A and B are shown apart, each in its own frame.
Chain A
Amino acid sequence: MLGTIAMVSVVAPQPACAAQARLTAPELDLKAAYLLSFLRFVRQETPSPLRQADSISVAIVGDDGLGRALKLAVQGRRLDGRSIVVSSLREPERLGEYDMVFIGFARSTAVDQALAQTRGAPVLTVGESDDFVGHGGMIGLFLEDRKLRFAINVSAAGEAGLRISSSLLSLAAEVYGRQR
């Protein structure tokens, strides 16, 4: 279902200050905003008719705080006419059925187990563990100079049938692999 949300803007009232830069923000709120942004830059190469739905589903695994922040951030927002449904999970469970999954685990073995559930499914995987993209994750968030940065593994995205826009790639701190 990501197939049809290619690079459209979020339909929501834009705050008057939206065009201006804030000074600082709480980490969880900032991460939630990044996750929403990522959705705008990724599409499915061959949209699967089986995954069409009225809503975009996002799972946050292992990070209740981020789950709460994202639920607040998506309130009243629609992406290409569809609502965004956020599920907060303690343990990885049927992750292949979501459009985007954030894996909040720090341990590489837990990350690997969660990523294994998404293999072969068009699920955008985002994480923040050390070398998340090296483990086959697609977008790895990290802090640099107190700002959030991200690395992208385009090969992993390609293998899952997802295409990442060049705009997002140009903003990434590191890009691994090549887009077909």
Chain B
Amino acid sequence: MNPGNRLARTLATVVLSGLLLALPPVARADADTRPRPDSAAADLAGLSLDQLMNIEVESVYGASRYSQRSLDAPTRVTVLTADDIRDHGYQTLAEALRTVTGLFVSYDRIYEYLGLRGLGHVDDYNARVLVLVDEHRTNDNIFEGALIGTDFALDLQQVDRIEVIRGPSSALYGSNAVLGVVNIVTRQARQARGWSVTTDGGSLGTRGGRLAYGGRFGEHGTLQLSASDFASDGNASLYFPTFDPPQPHGNVAEHLDGDGARRLFANLALGDFRLEGVYGRRRKDVPTATFGTLFDAQGYWTTDTREWLDLGYRHTFANRLELSGRLYCDEYEYEGSYPYDLENNGLVTINRDLDVGTWSGGELIAHRTLFGPDEFVVGGEWRANLRQDQRNWFIGSDTTCYDDHHHSDVWAVYAEDAFDLAPRLRLTAGLRHDAYTAFGGSTHPRVGLIWSLLDRTTCKLIYGSAFRVPTSYEVYLWGSGDAANTTLRPETFRTGEAVFESYFAEHYHASASCFVYRGDDFIQEGSDGAFTNSGDVRGTGVEAEVSGRWHEAELRLGGAHQAVRFRPGDARLSNSPADILQASGKLPIVPGRLWASADLHTIGRRLNPLSAEVPGAAIADANLIARRRGSPWQVTLGVRNLFDVKYSDVAGPEVTMTSVPQDGRTFRARLDVRF
């Protein structure tokens, strides 16, 4: 055993036993004196059942890997529900996430990139955000990226809720949980009983459909199935000012914006066991002449295929011990076709890229309510990256640019304990150690001090560190051996945060946070196309959000102001907006039958990787929803970019243009039927 492993195991033992045993006994003695939300209990008891049925349960799961009030979670969480997804007509995860306070999404006409806390690096393929579906990691093992656009393997209609957990969570989830975690929980069989059919269509030749079934079998079994298909012709022509004055191939890309995706989902639950299978394949035509390819040439496309099978077990024992575990196998395949004019003679040569990642692993988590409100979680995880293969070659030639085959392993142990230090003061402390065969060990804590200021008002002080390992793509982009970038180290973020959260005046919820972080060994792509630990990033910022609900009307307003600097040089980082403002609302027009909903997301100006400024934009989306309680029909009419604002997003360094134009006003219509 090498010293790193020995240290890791020693640490693990300390974590597992120390956190449990070394807690101050006073915490347990005070268990029953923890302040209960007395007035909440009393207020609720005065409401009618009809009124109670409109109240949402305050719970988040992903913040600590057990259900808890968002007020008690050692982070700031925003939850989007199935109702939000339905009533705002969100069709992709990216569309839903860009309405969440502080989050922004950039689209380079291939992938959607999620940014938060001023970091929206468009060459990281979302490797600094962890996206989970029913606790299953969706980040792949080549780019460590999360797909959140039309390439997301899950149909959004299958989603029960999306928890956006801000800040570092490597103490629970390991690599990639740097800026935040998006925890997606799918609908239970009970919510999707019977058949349902969706058809939709809209501008840009967009059409789609979904067929889903949910039912019971036997005494304890449930089954859910869903199949959906989406296709879009995209913009018939896209004008790129970057190519002004017109280059030999012009400045307009024609018929190169098509998009199509197919998704399958199956969930079989029997007693304590659940088997879930997810498959998604998306093909996108690329108009941006990325990687120095030929502009306006047919034959540039990419496909992303993501699939997994997850066998889960969850059992609650009579002694309040909840044990859950999973075994899974995953696959991700990226295929790209790039047209080049190598000899500058008008002859097109196709370069192909095929990356295949397969991995499997297992996880075991025990959660126990120890004494009164004390909560203890301990877990272990193992993952084998069976294939991390990248291959690139020219069609019709013997030239293989690279053909790499790698595999690696990672195992991890973690524990988190939450207990009361004093009647109104709660401490959450967690620690996780990850051991990578390729990068060694990495240990990360998260500590949260939560002060219940009033009945439903808390202040939190949180410190955590997080990391992401260099991706296989970043290390082996130019091949193995001497060409490999083996000096790359994991990047580490340390974040301190103060959070205020309150439910007040019956209708309102407000939360705000100030954060400061430092990211060491920040990995980014240099001008020569190689990835390096280029320096450090330092960010500070504030986020605030207030929401209210009055009967069937809802309004959420939020914003973030942040400053992120890169060292050495104290430079502004690319795609790092200083300001973001968001608003979402829903209003009944004919109560019980017709609603209107709208989202507004504004983003301040940003720099592209060439340090040129990309102007800010304010984009509004609106929807009309017709449905009646008990009726199997729902009709949704939507318009995106209502005011037809001309705007662009920042693209990564491989996209040669200063910015990538986005869609103007588009319309869509959807019909849902249940039977």
Contact = CB atoms under 8 A, between A and B. Distances in A.
Q: Do A and B interact?
A: yes
Interface string A4-47: 00000010111101111111111101101110110001000000
9 contacts: A20-B51, A21-B54, A21-B550, A33-B44, A33-B47, A62-B318, A74-B45, A145-B82, A148-B52
A100 B502 CA distance: 34
Interface in A87-127: 105-108, 110
Interface of B: 32, 36-38, 40-59, 67, 69, 79, 81-83, 160-161, 188, 190-191, 219-220, 316, 318, 372, 503, 506-509, 547-551
Contact of A14 (B46, B50, B549, B550): B46
Contacts of A27: 57-59, 67, 69
Contacts of A146: 56-57, 59, 79, 81, 161
A29 B37 contact: yes
Contacts of B37: 26, 29
Contact of A23 (B44, B316, B503): B503
Interface string A144-170: 111111000000000000000000100
A19 B52 CA distance: 11
A75 interface: yes
B49 A23 contact: no
B52 A131 contact: no
A72 B42 contact: yes
A73 interface: yes
Kindly name the residue among B38, B42, B54 whose own CB sees the greatest number of chain A CB atoms within 10 A: B42
Nearest to A70: B41
A169 to B, nearest CB: 12
Contacts of A108: 220
Nearest to A37: B49
A23 B555 CA distance: 12
A33 B548 CA distance: 22
A30 B57 contact: yes
B66 to A, nearest CB: 12
Contact of A77 (B45, B83, B509, B550): B45
Given A20-B506, A22-B506, A146-B79, A15 B50 contact: no
A80 to B, nearest CB: 15
Interface of A: 10, 12-15, 17-27, 29-30, 32-34, 36-37, 41, 62, 64, 68-69, 72-75, 77, 105-108, 110, 130-131, 134, 142-149, 168, 171
A115 to B, nearest CB: 15
A131 B53 contact: no
Contacts of B58: 24-27
A85 to B, nearest CB: 15
A107 B318 contact: yes
A29 B52 CA distance: 11
A110 to B, nearest CB: 6
A67 to B, nearest CB: 11
Contacts of B54: 21, 147
A73 B318 contact: no
Contacts of A36: 45
A50 to B, nearest CB: 29
A26 B69 contact: yes
Contacts of B45: 10, 12, 32-33, 36, 73-74, 77
A49 to B, nearest CB: 30
A20 to B, nearest CB: 6
Contacts of B509: 23-24
B44 A22 contact: yes
A23 B70 CA distance: 13
A154 to B, nearest CB: 17
Contacts of B81: 145-146
Nearest to B507: A23
Contacts of A33: 41, 44-45, 47, 52
Contacts of B551: 21
B93 to A, nearest CB: 18
Nearest to A109: B318
A26 B508 CA distance: 15
A107 B316 contact: yes
Given A32-B45, A149-B53, 19 more contacts: A10-B45, A12-B46, A22-B507, A23-B56, A23-B547, A27-B67, A33-B47, A33-B52, A37-B48, A69-B36, A105-B318, A107-B318, A143-B57, A144-B188, A145-B160, A145-B191, A146-B56, A148-B53, A171-B49
Nearest to B193: A174
A23 B506 contact: yes
A18 B509 CA distance: 18
Contacts of B161: 145-146
B42 A75 contact: yes
